[in-house]
Structures are given as C-alpha cells and as structure tokens.
Chains A and B, each alone.
Chain A
Amino acid sequence: MDILDQLISGFSVALQPINLFWALIGCALGTAVGVLPGIGPALTIALLLPVTAQIAPESAFIMFAGILYGALYGGSTTSILLNTPGESGSVMTAIEGNLMARKGRGAAALATAAIGSFVAGTIGTAALTFLAPAIAELAFIFGPEDYFALMILSFTSVAVVMGRSRVRGFTSLFFGLALGTIGIDTQTGQARMVFGSLELLDGIQFTVVLVSLFAIGETLYVASRQAAVPKVINPLSGGTWMTRDDWKRSWKPWLRGSLIGFPIGSLPAGGTEVPTFLSYTLERRLTKHPEEFGKGAIEGVAGPEAANNAAAAGILVPLLTLGLPSTATAAVLLAAFQNYGLQPGPMLFTTNPTLLWGMIASLYVGNVILLILNLPLVGLWVRLLMIPRPYIYGGIVMFAMVGVWGISTSWIDLLLVAGLGLIGYLARVYSFPVAPALIGLILGPQAEIQLRRALAVSQGDWSVLVGTPIAITLLVLAAATFLLPMLIRRLSRI
C-alpha cells in the first residue's frame, strides 16, 4: 500500500513536537474565530501568512489545517448556546441546537456537535487520503444544469421541512431570494433593485443578514419576553454528557452527514452550506422522533455539524488535486502554497510529498486535538448561559454592530441591521423560520448564474435543465420532497 506508507511518513512529520505545537495553536485560533461572526478562517489565515514566513512550510500548513477545521468546531458553539451562528455553515445547527440548550441539554448538543465534527472530519480526511483523485473528477462532470438542480433541491427541501408550515418556509425563502437580487447583476452588470442607491450596488452583505435575523431578532425577542421566560436556565439540568439514547440517535446522522458533506464540498461550486441544509432535511425525514424536531432534536445537530466538517475536508480535494480553489479559504491556502513556491495540482503529490502528506496527516491530528480541546470546554461553555441575560445579550448586540461596522464602515449596513433585526423579531413571534431566508440569499444568486449559464450554452433551450442524469435525479428528489408529504397525508386520510 503506497498511500499507507506515505501517510505514515506524513504522520512522522505531523507528530514532531514542534508541529504538534503549531497544530494546537491553529486549532485554538480556529475555534476562536469560528465563534465570532464576520471573522472566518480565510481572514485569519491571510493575516497569519506573513507571520508564518519564518517557519517551515510543513508547520505553517499544519497550523492552517487546524484553523480550517477549528473554525467549524467553534461555529457550532455560539449557534447552540446563543442562537447566533458564527459561520454560514453553522446556520442549521442553531435551529435544533439552541432549542436543546433552552431545555438544559446544551451540553449534549455541544458534545454531539464536537464528536460529530470529529467523526466527519476523520471520515472526510480518510476520503481525501484515498479517494481524492477520483472525487476531483466530479468537478468536470457537474455542469451548470446540475448545479442549478442541486440548488433547487436545497431550496425546496429547506423550505418544506423548516418551520411550522410550508407557507412560512417558502415565504422566508422567497424573502431571501429577493434580497439576493439586490445589486449589480453578475452576468450583465446591470444594477437591479438598488433604487438609485450607490450603497446597495454591491448587494446585501451576508454577514449583515446573518447577525440581524439571528442575533438582533433573538435579542429583541428575549427582551420582549423577559417576564415570561425563567430568569436563569439551569444549563446542566439535562446532565453534562450525552446519554446512551443520545449516542444511539447521533451516530447514524454523523455518518450520513459525512457522506453528504464530502462530495458536495469537493465540487467547485459546492461549499459548506448546501450539505448542512440537505443533511438537516434528511435527518428530519428519517428520524424516529419527528415530534421532537422543532423542539430540540439531537439528530438536527449531529447531521449538519458532521456535514460541514466533511465538506471542509472536501474543499481540499479540488485544491490539492487540481489547484482549483472553490472558497475564499481555499484561495488563501492556494496563495500560501504559492508563497512557498509550490503549485497545488497533480504534480504536488510527486514534487513535494513530505509537505502534502504531512498536511494530510495533520488533519487527522488536528481533529483529535480539537476533540480533546472542545469536549472539556463543553462544561465551561454551557455556563455562559448562567450569565444574566441583559449582560449576555447586550454583549451580543455590541459584537454584532461592531462586526458589521468593521466590515464596511457603512451606516446603511447599520440601518439594515436594525430593519432586518426587526423582521427577524417578527419572524420569531409569528413562527417564520429564518434559515430559509439565509439560504435564499446565499444560494439564490448562484442558482441564477448557473441557470443563465445553462441556458446560454443551450441557446435558450429549457430542456437542458433535465438534460443530464444528475440534474434529473436531483430535480426528482426536489419534487419528491415537495410532493411526497402531501401525498402521504392524502392517502392516510382515505
């Protein structure tokens, strides 16, 4: 086994004490930036690049790998405890995770997120080790029509399963899609829906909507219901650890999440968000406890958390095998490679095996470190909930505003935070789910680009949208998500 030999030599690099030290630093930093909205792994790695010029490339990439994975571990913490996702990949975790935290099951939610991330990260890394060249071929198989079908599947599945009714789900989705059309059109350069405002030309920033709908909406809601909620939740009333039942309900979602996350993450236009949406939908369909969804079901945390970590491993596939960066984080890593005079791509496996296998081995090591780092912290994190609410929510609002201001120093963004925060509040009061709005905003523009590309290539022939087996399969799945529940309800009535 050639690959195994090389992996073992990789471990001999990654396990050197100095590299373990860098891995530890990377994991800790990554966890910290994952917690903060607006500061992601891409920015962190970019800022660290100059610092790392002094250390060996192996050590630098080992640290970067820790940041990449650590950000996803950290993102789940604020999602679960404060209903404020730090990264777009953690949006779905907030839904069931925060409900669990409110029931005093925060520790179990954090634990299943951490262990799920570990399991998926390890599976993803193993897939990267052994299957990368084969998976990389997916990039060439997926055409615009296939991407479009994948987006449609994400839209319908999320809008159907989220919230109390489909009308609410779709309302939220279309709100997000509408927000996504604001700004200069990417294909023709025409300004749309900006009403003459220069401030809106570049569209509505994702971070603005994320913090408004979640953090501000949540804060307003808590403030308005101050009298009705208990002063302090005992964060440990549900125990400090996962029960036997929790384990039983978590392991399958971990595996399914990994299976969804890795291949989609490795597509050039895949990303870490789509797999979390699909995983949540799938878990909600397959669960034996449908009554708990919407009240804090552990499957809804375990699946998406696994999916986003597996997707993070997937992102490395096109980068390392083709030299094709698919996300901002991957682009920074590409620049880091080039900084050291290395060109990622098929040649890297032969020209610089020490570095490459050292980095792959460090992904395994980083996962273990993150698990060791995060599990004991669970008990500490949940105590956040013991801080009296006025302080904690005051802090959240301050961070949300500082974060938004720091990104653009634009007063219109602060107005948007206020306006969208109010919408987020109303959505909470009237039980509209906010996640579909975010999905519409993230994926809407991409779906439009892919649709228009597909139609351009086919010269306006709409049948191209069902022209490949992948597109047909995905669209049939989308239709099934939409129609099956209705059919089943009707049949069961007869």
Chain B
Amino acid sequence: MRRFLIAGGLVATLAMMSSAALADPAKVMIPANPGGGWDGAGRQTMAALEQAGIFTEGVSFTNKGGAAGTIGLAEFVRTAKGDDNALLVTGVIMVGGIISNNTPVSLKDTTPLARLTNEYNAIAVPADSPIKTPQDFLAALKADPGALSVGGGSAGGADHVMLAQLAKAAGAPVDKINFVSFSGGEILAALGGGKIKAAISGASEFRPFAETGRIRIIAVSGPNRLEGLDAPTLTESGIPIEMGNWRGFVGGPDMTDAGRTAWLERFEKLHTADAWKETLKAQGWEDAYLAGDDFVKFIDAENEKWSASLKEVGILN
C-alpha cells in the first residue's frame, strides 16, 4: 500500500505540474526559427503587452520554421482549434509563400486580428565584399546572376520577389537568380562568414550585426533612409523598388467572438501604450496598426497584389 501511495503521489505531482504549464497563458506560434524577423515580432510584441500590463498571464512560444512560415501555419491550423489564447505571427512573407507554394492551408483558415508593424528590407553584404553600392549589386547580378548567391527568407516571399525585381532592373534573367533560403538567425552567420555573397532581409535583423562591422548594409528598400544608418534607399539610387514587410497576428481557426474581441481590445490598448512605442523605436519598426475587419480586407488585397507581382517577376507561372 505504501508503494502504491508513493506512485500515486508521484503521478499526482507530475500531473499537477504539467497541467499548471498548460493553464491560462497565451500560446504563440512563431512560424520561423529563433533569431529572425518573425521571432522578434512575436516575442517583442508579447513582451510589450506584458510590460504595459495589458496581458500578464504569461506566454509560451513555439518556433516552427521553414517554407515561408507555411509549416508553422499548418501546425497552427491543426493545433489551435478551439483555443482562444492561441496566436500565430504572420506577415507578407507568408502571404507570398502560400500563393507561390500553393499551400493547402491559408490565412483564410485563421481568424485575422491585427497588423502591427511594417519594416523595410535591406540589402547587406559581407564586410569585405567588393560590392559597395546598389549599382555594384546590379552589375554583379547582370554579369552572372547564378554566381551571386543571395540569402533571404523563404522562396516566394518578399525577399525573393525583391531579388527578382532587382534582377529585372539589372536586365538579368529572373530564372537564373540564385536565391538561397534561410529561416532565422543562421543567415547572419552565413553572411558574416562570406558563405553567401549578399542577403536580403528586414533592416532590423541586419542592423546589430552591421554595427559590429561584420556585415555592411548597402541599401534599404523604404521610401526614406533609416535614422542613424548610412545606406541609401534604392529609389534615390535610381532603382524604383520599394519592398515593405508587414507583420501581425492572427488567431485560431474557430476563435470565439469573445476571444476575438478580447484580443482586438488588447492590441488596441497596446497601440497607444508607451511600452509599445519604445519597442517600435528600439526595433526600428514602423507603426502599421490595422485591426479587425479592415485587416481581413487588407489580407484579401495583399493576396491579389502578390499573385500579380509573383507572376509579373516570373516566380509564378
């Protein structure tokens, strides 16, 4: 009997511990490996919600990277059913990825909540690269597009499309470009070590590394230069390309109205909170708050826009 009690006690303790871990906190799916743009977006936003005292129940994160976030999306659609506290970080890359990969699940299977940030892409090269200006980059692309290995997020995403647009601007064949896909922080090590010739990704991902002198940012893709960064915009360099990268949150497939309202209220509060303004500034993100039904319409518009531009640059036939 005593043994039985020991075993029972052990089982009960373990059960309590595991159920405590599964209690109220938000479960955030980050559809990328640790250390990339979505990782930062998910973790920083939840941290700001916590700091501003808007959502303090705790958060657990799951990183599931690859294929423009569609693997994470598939897992999210599968596992977040009926959980009002399950969130997925999403963004323009996933929209493009779903279209170009013809993924069987889409953002239509989720409950869109809010777009929060926008960020512009940047082109970076290893510190000792002979490529110094956007024109050098185009020249290298034209000379031998295959030899210029360019890292970026997933195939069919914003980074890939931007490279295709650059190739078009350079007069290089789009089907010859050499886009190498990464997920998360590995791209920084590969670029810093010269394993790839250049990389296209969010400016905020490159900046800490550029500051240490490991890599050099040669251009940004926004309408304006970034504060404190000595890199020209593509437009001012005579290359009319702008590539933004919005990020936001969606909820589970059958999120209840109550759950949706609760999260929309939280994001609305966050939007005006000081903690959030500090986060935006520290990360170099633009405020791009758009919530609820407007966000749903925006996603539809993005779908059409990306189908068109993926066809136009020749990634999608």
Contacts and interface: CB of A to CB of B under 8 A. Distances in A.
B114 to A, nearest CB: 20
Contacts of B72: 202
B71 A198 contact: no
Contacts of A338: 43-44, 47
A395 B10 contact: yes
B81 interface: yes
A201 B185 contact: no
B86 to A, nearest CB: 10
A201 B193 contact: no
A63 B193 CA distance: 34
Nearest to B33: A331
Contacts of B39: 325, 331
Contacts of B182: 453
A165 interface: no
Task: Name, among B25, B58, B66, B77, the residue most crowded by chain A CB atoms within 10 Å (CB to CB).
Answer: B66
A140 B79 contact: no
Contacts of A140: 189, 192-194, 214
Given A191-B104, A406-B18, A457 B196 contact: yes
Contacts of B67: 184-189
Interface residues of A, number: 78
B56 A50 contact: yes
A43 B193 contact: no
B60 A47 contact: yes
Interface in B124-139: none
A264 to B, nearest CB: 15
A324 B155 contact: no
Contacts of A202: 64, 71-72, 74-75, 78
A391 B156 CA distance: 53
A46 interface: yes
A439 B186 CA distance: 21
B59 A331 contact: no
B190 interface: yes
B60 A43 contact: yes
A36 B14 contact: yes
Interface in B145-177: 146-147, 149, 154-156
A399 B196 contact: no
A461 B145 CA distance: 16
A190 B74 CA distance: 12
A328 interface: yes
A409 interface: yes
Given A141-B193, A388-B3, A395-B7, A330 B155 contact: no
B61 A46 contact: yes
Interface string B34-58: 1100010001100100110000111
Interface string A193-211: 0000011011100000000
Nearest to B147: A459
Contacts of A459: 146-147, 178
A281 B103 CA distance: 41
A317 B99 CA distance: 39
Contacts of A388: 3, 7
B180 A409 contact: no
B35 A201 contact: no
A189 B155 contact: yes
A392 interface: yes
A186 B183 contact: yes
Task: Name, among B50, B78, B182, B194, the residue most crowded by chain A CB atoms within 10 Å (CB to CB).
Answer: B78
A139 interface: yes
A408 to B, nearest CB: 4
Interface string B184-204: 011011101111100000000
Interface in B1-46: 3-4, 6-7, 10-11, 14-15, 17-18, 21-22, 25, 34-35, 39, 43-44
Contacts of B154: 186-187, 189
A423 interface: no
Nearest to A412: B78
Contacts of B189: 139-140, 142, 268, 318, 322, 324
B100 interface: yes
B188 A345 contact: no
Nearest to B4: A391
B68 interface: yes
A325 B36 CA distance: 9
Given A184-B66, A325-B185, A50 B21 contact: no
A466 interface: no
A395 B193 CA distance: 49
A455 B177 CA distance: 14
Given A46-B60, A268-B186, A456-B178, A343 B97 contact: no
A326 interface: yes
A243 interface: no
Contacts of B83: 409
A191 B59 contact: no
13 contacts: A44-B21, A46-B60, A143-B193, A183-B74, A189-B156, A202-B75, A332-B43, A335-B44, A343-B208, A395-B7, A453-B180, A457-B149, A457-B195
Given A184-B70, A189-B68, A384-B10, 16 more contacts: A48-B58, A53-B51, A185-B66, A185-B67, A201-B105, A202-B72, A202-B74, A269-B186, A327-B34, A330-B34, A335-B47, A388-B3, A399-B18, A408-B75, A449-B66, A453-B180
**For the complex of A and B, 3 pairs with smallest distance between CB atoms:** A189-B101, A186-B66, A331-B34
